[in-house]
Amino acid sequence: MTNDEKIAIITSFQDNPLVHSLTCSVNSLHENLVPKVYIDEVMLVCPTCKTVQLIDDEFIRLLGELDTRQREFGRSREALMKQHRCVKEF
């Protein structure tokens, strides 16, 4: 997996409203973590306090799977609600 692919997966996950974003280990109220490349490795950086967190390829793969499945669930839920003309969100 290239660094660009890793960043795309993490960014998609962080932008997904159906999952809990990756947050700072120092203070979860800080801005969401953003992927950055340092010395040819993708790491997560807190834009607020600049704390750096390591992230391995397997975890990035899991984020990609979770992101994909949750987005599929969201599309299925929307289709079901339209089919049954539901107004109320759950």
pLDDT tens, residue by residue, 27-74: 999 999 999 999 999 999 999 999 999 999 999 999 999 999 998 887
pLDDT at 27: 96
Dihedral angle sign, alpha carbons of residues 83, 86, 87, 90: negative
pLDDT at 52: 96
Residue 89 predicted with pLDDT over 70: no
pLDDT at 74: 73
Dihedral angle sign, alpha carbons of residues 38, 43, 47, 52: negative
Residue 13 predicted with pLDDT over 70: yes
> Residue 41: which H helix or E strand, with range?
strand 41-45
